[in-house]
Each structure stands twice: as structure tokens, then as C-alpha cells.
Structure 1
Amino acid sequence: MKTIDIIVPCYNEGENIDMFFYETQGVISSITGYSFRYIFIDDGSCDDTLEKIKGLDNHVKIKYISFSRNFGKEAAMYAGLRASRGDYAVIIDADLQHPPGLMAEMIETIEETGCDSCAARRVSRKGEPRLRSLFARAFYRIMNRYSDIEILDGAVDFRMMNRKMVRAIVSMPENQRFSKGIFAWVGFDTRWIEFENVKRISGESKWSVWSLTKYAIDGFIDFAASPLKFVGVFGSVTAIGSVLYLVIEILKTLIMGKDIPGYASTICLILFFGGLITTVLSVMGEYIGRMYMETKGRPIYIEKESNIDED
């Protein structure tokens, strides 16, 4: 009998744990030939998420890892994959925005096609704030154009993977993670299942505009060297333009005589080049800062409590 680990990252999801478990149990109880195990990751929740997890039906395999603080969903997903031992691992959110019913279709797709992964993709953003939708679409367009990987618009973290792909992902212990990019970078044959956007059953999204912006920047920098290339090209073009401007001014002086110095043009040039230098240093500093954080060798997460090693 094949085994499947259901990895559930949780951050302040106490209101949703029971409903999620009820819905998911209804799905997996109708799937025969597979043994399921839950791995809940409590990402430093401030509510009763951990207590809710401990109180779930003990007739099924319920495992959990509780972090010492909030390390983020990326760390939670990595912890779950690292603790996984099943033939397959599926990552799913606890707020039911990832329909548990799709797991049956994922299993069927993997078994019929022999693919390594089956992932979910939203085909609509109905119910999502308009600004967030525009931001997300712009991110995918920029990411796919300027990075070395391709991420489908609407791709979510909800996916089922075989053991080979899980091992490949866990073998990348980088501290600043962007899982959507990592899933694409490791390769493997992935099939997609489309679904309509689903609202949270309760509570509010933990993703603010600022956190989404930071997440997008992290993903772009982690998988693209384009900003550095752009800065280099822009700097070269600016330098060439400055030389041409100097030649023109020399010729102009030789032909027409000395011109009256311009205060406004001088200030504009100073501000322009000052801003350019600051931008270049900022972009380079961002990459150097990430290198510095990675060289520290800090753990991706710290466990406070877990029952993974218990029989």
C-alpha cells in the first residue's frame, strides 16, 4: 500500500483546523489503496492552532511540528517536506482555499501518467482584491520574462509530489526560499489541474500588500540576475552618453566660443548621477546582503515541539 503525507502549514488557523480536517477526511476516506498521514506545521501561531491540532481524531496518523516563532510559510513547507517519508507528499493550506477534493484527481493523474508532480493552478481570481490581482499578474509576466524559470500564472503551492522530487527540493537548504521557483527549478514532469478561486472559510489572509511585495521581490532576486545585468547595461549606456555629451560640448566651445555655465543643467546632472549611483549600489547591496545571510548558515526554522519521532 502506498503512503501519502499531507503537509499542512498553519499560522493562526485555529478557527479552520477542525473544518479542514473534517473536509479532508471526507475526501481521503473514499480513496482506497493508500495510507495517509497528516503533518501539521504550526508556524509560531499566537492562537490555539497547536491545541486544535493536538485535539484531532487520534484514530488517524496526526504528526506535527511547532516552531519557536513565526518563520514563514516557506520554512513551514520545507519542514513538512523534510519530515515526510511517504511515497507521495502533498502540500495544502488549512484555510480550504486549496480544495481537498482535488487530491483524488492528483492521485489519479500521477498514477495514470507516471508524472512526478501534479499541481493546482487557479484559473480565476474571483473574490480577490483587484489591486492584488493586477499585482500578481504583473509579477508572473516579469518573472517569466527575466528569470531562468517559468511559473504559470495562477500556480499555487497546492501540489502532490513523488519521493524523487521531494528529495530534490529538500536537498536545497537555502535560507531565503521561494518554493514556486524551486518547484520549477528542480524540473521533473509536472501536470496541472485547474480550479476556480475559493474564499477562506474564516479569518483573514495573512498576506498583506507589503508581505506580498516583499515575497515577489524575494522570488525575483532569488531566481534572476537580470537586475544586475540591467544596472550594468544602464551604467554603460550612461557612460557612453556622457562621453558623447562631452565631445559635443568641446566641439561647440571650439566653434561657437565659451558658453555661459548653466546652474539648472548642473544640478540636474548631479541629481541624475547621484540617483543612478544610489540605485546601482542598492541593487548590488540587495544581492550581497542575501549572500551574507546565506553564509551565516542559520537554520531555516527552529523546532519548539514535535511528535514526528514518536511511534
Structure 2
Amino acid sequence: MSKLCSCIVPCFNEEEVIPLYYEEMQKVRKQEEGKIDFEIIFIDDGSKDKTLEVIKKLSEQDECIHYVSFSRNFGKEAAMYAGFEHANGEYVVTMDVDLQDPPHLIPEMIRCIEEEGYDSVATRRVTRKGEPPIRSFFARRFYGLINKISDADIVDGARDFRMMKRDMVNAILSMPEYNRFTKGIFGWVGFKTKWIEFENVERAAGETKWSFWKLFRYALEGIIAFSTVPLTIVSLIGVIVCIIAFLFLLFVVIRATIFGDPVAGWPSLICVISFLSGIQLLGIGVVGMYLSKTYLETKKRPIYIKKESK
């Protein structure tokens, strides 16, 4: 009896590229016919265009096509979690619909799991061709930073394109946190993973939904979700500044006692006050970010709200 592979495909305003993705997946399904059955689960993340209409049309033509439609845009992290909840396969694949995650790699992933004994097969880009240089620079700095300050193992260039066994999917589902950073969760749950490298592929159609600001916020989510080092750094800065302030105070007192000079220099005093105020605000901001995430977690709000599904 053939095993079932569930493909989770988040979509947000992707009406142009969905038919192209379906064509490529048809090639994979034909290649694995008789060995692996497929179900494709499109997650409509509150799209404003005709994404849902295109998906519904495909589902009417192909019984292997399923979908979950959100009541509004909840983000890719929520979409992937919804896919995990609705996936029925022994193998589960997460991938983008824009064909930057090449479907033709799926057969190789299956072979690695079945023949080499891996629990997961993940992909990483070895080039960032077509990506703005500034985005590539900050992406590399982010991967280097988060691996140093957290327990999560996140490979530079890692994509969300990954195949997992059911045990790993169940482990991810056991972490229903509201503030999700799936790249970190993949690394945190562990399991034996093989990495497949490929060169960057540009979108088949449409435009990316990830602006620099969204990527920056996503990076902050990852750092806060998997590390408390920023809190430690702020605390150390506070201790160092207190020591410097104390030494400066001793200097002023000794100087006034020995030389009897009045304490002058209002400009320098204002600079010191501004510097210390900035550090205080930085510390409050960092603490506030962690506190806000804790606040959202305690609300116990659902990760997503489903409007309809098939």
C-alpha cells in the first residue's frame, strides 16, 4: 500500500502562480505514481485576490487537492501550523507556492527518508542570486547571530521547504505557541535531518510579500522566541554604566575636595544624561518586547481562525 505525502502550501495573493505550481506537482505525482500518494493542502492566508477561487476550481477537478481558508491574514507561520493540523500523510512537506522551492526535489527527499533513515530532509540555498545585496547581508548576519545566542540550530540559507516524518510533525504540533518562529522550532525539536543544497530560484510569477521591514520583524521574533541573551546584555550594560557613574562621582567629589573647583561643564552633563537615558530606554524596550510576547501568549488566542475548508 502506498504511503501518503501531504504537501502544505501557504498562499497569500498567489492567483497567478498556483496553476504553475500545480503543473509542476503533477510531474512529481506522475513520477512517484504507485509508490507515494499525494495530497496538496493549500492554505489561503486571507488573500484579497482570486487565490481561493483558483484553489476551489482545482479541488473540484482533483480530489487530492484540499484547502483551508482563513478569516483574515494571519501570516505564514499560522498557515504552516494550520497545514500541520490538517495533514494526514506519513510524510509532510512544507513549501512555497511560488516555485522558489523546486518540487522536483521531493522524490530525492523521499529517497533520503526511506533509504537513508533520516527523520527530516531540509533544503538550503547556496546562492542568493536575484536577491537585493542588503537583504542578503542582513540575512547572513541574522543566521550567524541567532546560532550564537540560542539553542536552535538554524542553517544559513535554510528554507521552509522541508519533508518530515509524522513523529516530527507531532512534535511540532505539541508546541502550540502563539508567537511562532518555525525555522527555530524545526531546529529545537531535533530529529535526524539531512540538508539538500540548491541554487536560488526566482519566483515563477507575482511579487514577493516579504518586505525588508517584515523580514526584520521576523528576525526579531526569532531572537526573542529562542533566546534571552538580549535581556542579559541589557543587564550587563546597566551594571557597567552604574560602575562608570560611581567612578565618575568619586572623581567629582575628590576633585572638589582637593582643588575646591566648582563642577562645570553643562554641555558634557547633558550629554551624559542623554546617554544614560538612551540606555534606560533601550533596556525598557527590550524588556517590553519580551513582556509583550508573554502577554500575547497568556491571552490564549487561536493561532488562526478558519473560515472554510475542504
TM-score by length of 2: 0.97
SS in 2 for 1:97: coil
Pick aligned residue for 2:48 from 8, 26, 46? 46
Distance 1:256 1:190 in 2: 70
Distance 2:63 2:129 in 1: 35
Deviates more, 1:248-257 or 1:229-238: 248-257
Pick aligned residue for 1:37 from 36, 39, 42? 39
Distance 1:141 1:81 in 2: 28
Distance 1:272 1:24 in 2: 57
Pick aligned residue for 1:237 from 240, 255, 261? 240
* Partner residue in 1 for 2:140: 137
Distance 1:129 1:10 in 2: 23
1:57-206 equivalences in 2 (<5 Å)? 58-206=61-209
Distance 2:265 2:164 in 1: 65
Q: Give the aligned residue type for 1:7.
A: I
* Partner residue in 2 for 1:3: 4
How far has the Cα of 1:112 moved from its partner? 1.5
How far has the Cα of 1:150 moved from its partner? 2.2
The yes-or-no answer on 1:305 pairing with 2:299 is: no
How far has the Cα of 1:60 moved from its partner? 4.1
Distance 2:253 2:263 in 1: 14
| Aligned length in residues | 307
Distance 1:134 1:276 in 2: 27
Distance 2:299 2:218 in 1: 21
* Partner residue in 2 for 1:275: 278
How far has the Cα of 1:167 moved from its partner? 0.3
Give deviations 1:63-98, integer Å, cap 9, x for gaps.
Answer: 110000000000000000111121010011110000
Distance 1:219 1:28 in 2: 35
The yes-or-no answer on 1:24 pairing with 2:25 is: yes
Distance 1:235 1:33 in 2: 61
Distance 2:155 2:303 in 1: 26
Distance 1:242 1:302 in 2: 52
How far has the Cα of 1:253 moved from its partner? 2.2
* Partner residue in 2 for 1:55: 57
> Gaps (5+ residues) in structure 2?
none
Could you tell me whether the CA contact under 8 Å between 2:120 and 2:193 is conserved in 1? yes
Q: Give the aligned residue type for 1:29.
A: K
Distance 1:261 1:277 in 2: 25
Distance 2:152 2:169 in 1: 19
1:200-219 equivalences in 2 (<5 Å)? 200-219=203-222
Could you tell me whether the CA contact under 8 Å between 2:256 and 2:263 is conserved in 1? no
SS in 1 for 2:103: coil
* Partner residue in 2 for 1:263: 266
How far has the Cα of 1:231 moved from its partner? 0.4
Q: Give the aligned residue type for 1:235.
A: G
* Partner residue in 2 for 1:248: 251
How far has the Cα of 1:266 moved from its partner? 1.4
Give deviations 1:132-152, integer Å, cap 9, x for gaps.
Answer: 111111111111111222211
Distance 2:172 2:113 in 1: 18
Give deviations 1:84-124, integer Å, cap 9, x for gaps.
Answer: 12101001111000000000110011112211100111000
SS in 2 for 1:207: coil
The yes-or-no answer on 1:224 pairing with 2:258 is: no
Query: What is the root-mean-square deviation in Å for CA atoms of aligned residues?
Result: 1.1
Q: Give the aligned residue type for 2:21.
A: F
Q: Give the aligned residue type for 2:38.
A: F
Q: Give the aligned residue type for 2:166.
A: R
Deviates more, 1:151-160 or 1:259-268: 259-268
> Gaps (5+ residues) in structure 1?
none
Distance 1:260 1:152 in 2: 55
Which structure features the higher share of helix residues? 2
Q: Give the aligned residue type for 2:41.
A: I
SS in 1 for 2:9: strand
Distance 2:132 2:205 in 1: 17
